[in-house]
């Protein structure tokens, strides 16, 4: 009977990637020369687990590569090798290669064999060649008998899995296949513990194996095969001597009298990965990738279960009221509906909390990034992470990773100076890069701050003039100049490097953050440093919105985008040639966008004084949206237009209101982009409506 262990693949990959993160974090925290034994033990255990799991599932290339890492780590934890920057960097590169190998196996793709071989060679050179073989010789000598008359010709192995071993994802026949590859293996099956068929549990292990391996391999190699199951089996390995050769031959003769189903054949028919198995694994990884799962604390699950219990009680009460309803039971019905609303809201909040993860999942990549980039640039940087336990939605977490990487890379390349420049400016030679996260209202705020040179406003302005983005005569304040770095293709780098300077990145940062319904701001002072502030909604599934009416249509405006709502005075309206209408808001002028005109609907009100102006902010600019009326505020569940229909400029999604009607959710940055290019913007919206 063969157990389908592919069902455990997802768990293996998830735990392996977590182990790699732990290895990377531990390696970055190792101090030169003085090894932290506990840290090295943690790194070693992670490597050991990945190696054993890979061997169990038949991913032998991963297992063999990890074994070399494990050997180097073993020497470090035993004090036989000092921890040096060179060894740490080699192990960090090996972690990268191992991550690539696991990703390739998970997605059934080809691996980069040249890169694997290069890093493997570095590990071998670091080990110094013969160290490992000398350890094996010592192990073999320790296991040999002090006698000149008897010589070991192999090993006698008794292997009895514990009853539950198959349930851990380990298949004994895979282990036997590995033994068979070491030499001449004879096997006797012990089925004495096999129960009656009616009492058989398919995933319990009842069999045992008594084996003799004729080979000159060291005992260590045999132990290594079984080390992943050492706590789940009874195992004895004894040296086999020439004096026992006769009994070995008898054993082999007995084996050949049985039906000829050798271990090699068992492997071939049951366990050798076939094309069919590969296809099945690929399909499974496609439908259930590791990233699709999250770990949830039991306290959140318990809270959700309690809420379900309350909901059931409320449903039961309302059911009783409905069965025998009379007019005098109306107060009881109202109380029940209020309780149902409260339970539903708590259930909604509880479900959303399950999707919340600490932002440390996004922050954890930066110690390695800073380590690598400072090595290349020669800069000294102190990375400080705070607010790592601040939680946000898993979907937001996945999409904010790349923008954060761009901002950190730009701070390291453009912001922080070299030690010599910093000392000349009267600063510490070590620069500081801070990442901080905290909740503010219904948003999460992420700050990336450095104490570097700050933005060079003259250089930015001159580069913008050179690229034709602004005119030389334009009088821009510092905030407007800072905004120029978000223009597509803009870069002030004098030399193109592999860190930054290719004119891509910052415009992508803003675009990605806006796609999440967020915003990014810059606060910079030349010579003192720069701070980027990102504001994001905690979740993309639910938001607080303001319902507005335009003609006969209802729309939802995100509350976070609204600055204020005002009644319009005709005396404050200005007509500007080529710019449309502007409204004087205290000391500033804001453009007026008539939504009925943008979305090509028949208006009921065209006189500005008869409607309202909702001032919103996006892309660092304020605009006024002309609407008919404000209807009310409510939480709305966002449904993606792009998923269910297609992307529409000026709209970020849709929702279903309480009366069953559909309301479109406005995208403020998108509306502003339509205002900047009115002709193309209107045609886009009209074509969508016509379609």
Q: Pinpoint the alpha helices (H) of 258-329.
A: 263-266, 275-287, 298-323
How far is 561 from 398, CA to CA, in rounded Å?
A: 23
Instruction: Compute the distance between CA of residue 581 and CA of residue 608 in angstroms, rounded to an integer.
Output: 11
CA dihedral 31, 33, 39, 41 (to 10 degrees): 160
CA 654 – CA 662 distance, rounded (Å): 7
**Per-position DSSP letters for 675-691, written without gaps between them:** HHSHHHHHHHHHHHHH-
Q: At 548, is the secondary structure helix, strand, or coil?
A: strand
CB-based contact 555:563 (threshold 8 Å): no
Given a contact cutoff of 8 angstroms between Cβ atoms, the answer to whether 102 and 15 are in contact is no
Alpha-carbon distance of 74 to 41, in angstroms, equals 9
Look at residues 513, 510, 492, 516 and name the one whose alpha carbon lies nearest to residue 502: 492
What is the rounded distance in angstroms from the CA atom of residue 179 to the CA atom of residue 182?
5
Q: Is 563:620 a contact under the CB 8 Å cutoff? A: no
Known active-site residue 70? yes
Kindly list the distances between the CA atom of residue 37 and the CA atoms of 82, 91, 126, in Å, as whole numbers in the listed order: 12, 16, 20
- Among 24, 70, 132, 688, the active-site one is 70
Which residue among 9, 14, 24, 48 is the active-site one?
A: 48
* Kind and range of the H or E run holding 54: helix 37-56
Residue 81 main-chain phi, psi, to 5 deg: -145, 135
**Dihedral sign, CA of 338, 339, 341, 345?**
positive
Residue 134, classified by CB atoms within 10 Å of its CB into exposed (0-12), middle (13-18) or buried (19+), is: exposed
- Does residue 188 carry a catalytic annotation? no
Go through the chain and tell me how many residues it has: 691
Cross-strand partners of 239: 155
Provide DSSP, 318-348.
HHHHHHT--GGGHHHHHHHHHHHHHHHHHHH
3-state secondary structure of 4: coil
The beta strands (E) that lie in 595-658 are given as 612-618, 621-627, 629-637, 651-656
Give the active site residue among 9, 178, 343, 410: 410
SS (H, E, C) 421-462: HHHHCCCCCCEEEEEEEEEECCEEEEEEEECCCCCCHHHHHH
Asked if residue 449 lies in contact with residue 434, where contact means CB atoms within 8 angstroms, the answer is yes
Q: Report how far apart the first and last C-alpha atoms of the chain are (Å, whole number).
A: 58
> Burial, 665: exposed, middle or buried (Cβ in 10 Å; 0-12, 13-18, 19+)?
buried
State how far the Cα of 192 lies from the Cα of 211, in Å rounded to an integer. Answer: 16
CB 441, CB 428: distance < 8 Å: no
Q: Identify whether the C-beta of residue 73 lies closer than 8 Å to the C-beta of residue 87.
A: no
- Say if residues 671 and 679 touch (Cβ distance below 8 Å): no
Output the CA torsion 365→371→375→378 (10° steps).
Answer: 110
Residue 410 among the catalytic residues: yes
Catalytic residue numbers read: 48, 70, 410
């Amino acid at each position: 009977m063969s157990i389908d262990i592919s069902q455990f693949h997802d768990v293996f990959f998830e735990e392996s990637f977590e182990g790699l993160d732990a290895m990377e974090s531990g390696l970055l925290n190792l101090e030169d020369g003085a090894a932290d034994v506990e840290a090295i033990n943690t790194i070693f255990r992670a490597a050991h687990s990945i190696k054993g799991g890979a061997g169990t599932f038949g991913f032998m290339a991963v297992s063999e590569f990890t074994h070399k890492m494990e050997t180097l780590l073993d020497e470090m934890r035993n004090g036989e090798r000092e921890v040096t920057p060179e060894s740490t960097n080699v192990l960090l590169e090996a972690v990268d290669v191992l991550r690539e190998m696991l990703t390739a196996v998970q997605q059934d793709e080809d691996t980069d064999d040249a890169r694997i071989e290069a890093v493997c060679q570095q590990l071998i050179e670091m080990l110094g060649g013969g160290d490992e073989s000398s350890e094996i010789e010592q192990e073999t000598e320790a296991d040999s008998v002090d006698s000149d008359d008897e010589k070991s010709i192999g090993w006698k192995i008794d292997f009895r899995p514990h009853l539950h071993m198959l349930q851990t994802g380990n298949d004994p026949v895979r282990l036997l296949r590995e033994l068979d590859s070491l030499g001449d293996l004879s096997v006797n099956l012990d089925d004495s513990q096999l129960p009656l068929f009616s009492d058989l549990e398919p995933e319990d292990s009842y069999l045992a194996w008594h084996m003799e391996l004729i080979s000159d391999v060291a005992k260590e190699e045999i132990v290594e095969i079984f080390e992943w199951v050492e706590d789940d089996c009874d195992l004895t390995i004894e040296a086999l001597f020439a004096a026992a050769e006769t009994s070995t031959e008898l054993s082999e003769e007995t084996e050949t009298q049985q039906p000829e189903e050798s271990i090699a054949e068992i492997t071939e028919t049951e366990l050798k990965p076939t094309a069919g198995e590969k296809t099945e694994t690929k399909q499974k990884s496609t439908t259930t990738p590791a990233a699709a799962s999250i770990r949830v604390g039991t306290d959140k699950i318990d809270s959700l279960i309690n809420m379900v219990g309350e909901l059931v009680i409320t449903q039961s009460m309302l059911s009783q009221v409905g069965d025998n309803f009379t007019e005098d039971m109306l107060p009881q019905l109202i109380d029940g509906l209020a309780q149902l609303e409260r339970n539903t809201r708590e259930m909604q909040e509880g479900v959303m909390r399950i999707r919340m993860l600490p932002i440390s999942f996004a922050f954890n990549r930066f110690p390695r990034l800073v380590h690598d980039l400072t090595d290349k640039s020669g800069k000294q940087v102190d990375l400080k992470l705070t607010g790592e336990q601040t939680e946000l939605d898993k979907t937001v977490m996945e999409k904010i990773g790349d923008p954060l990487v761009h901002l950190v890379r730009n701070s390291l390349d453009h912001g922080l100076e070299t030690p010599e420049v910093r000392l000349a400016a009267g600063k510490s030679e070590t620069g500081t890069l801070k990442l901080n996260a905290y909740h503010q209202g219904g948003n999460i705020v992420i700050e990336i701050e450095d104490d570097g040179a700050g933005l060079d406003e003259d250089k930015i302005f001159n580069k913008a003039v050179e690229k034709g983005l602004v005119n030389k005569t334009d009088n821009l304040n510092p905030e407007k100049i800072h905004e120029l770095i978000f223009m597509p293709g803009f870069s002030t780098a004098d030399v193109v490097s592999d860190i930054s300077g290719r004119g891509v990145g910052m415009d992508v940062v803003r675009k990605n953050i806006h796609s999440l319904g967020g915003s990014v701001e810059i606060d910079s002072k030349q010579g003192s440093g720069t701070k980027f502030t990102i504001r994001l909604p905690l979740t993309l599934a639910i938001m607080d919105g303001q319902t507005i009416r335009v003609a006969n249509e209802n729309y939802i405006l995100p509350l976070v985008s609204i600055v204020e709502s005002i009644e319009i005075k005709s005396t404050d309206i200005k007509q500007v040639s080529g710019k449309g209408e502007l409204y004087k808001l205290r000391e500033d002028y804001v453009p007026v966008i008539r939504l009925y005109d943008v979305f090509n609907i028949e208006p009921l009100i065209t006189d500005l004084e008869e409607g309202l102006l909702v001032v919103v902010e996006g892309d660092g600019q304020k605009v006024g949206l002309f609407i008919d009326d404000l209807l009310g505020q409510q939480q709305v569940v966002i449904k993606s237009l792009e998923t269910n229909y297609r992307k529409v400029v000026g709209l970020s999604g849709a929702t279903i209101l309480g009366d069953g009607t559909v309301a479109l959710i406005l995208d403020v940055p998108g509306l502003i982009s339509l205002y900047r290019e009115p002709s193309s913007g209107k045609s886009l919206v009209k074509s969508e409506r016509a379609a």
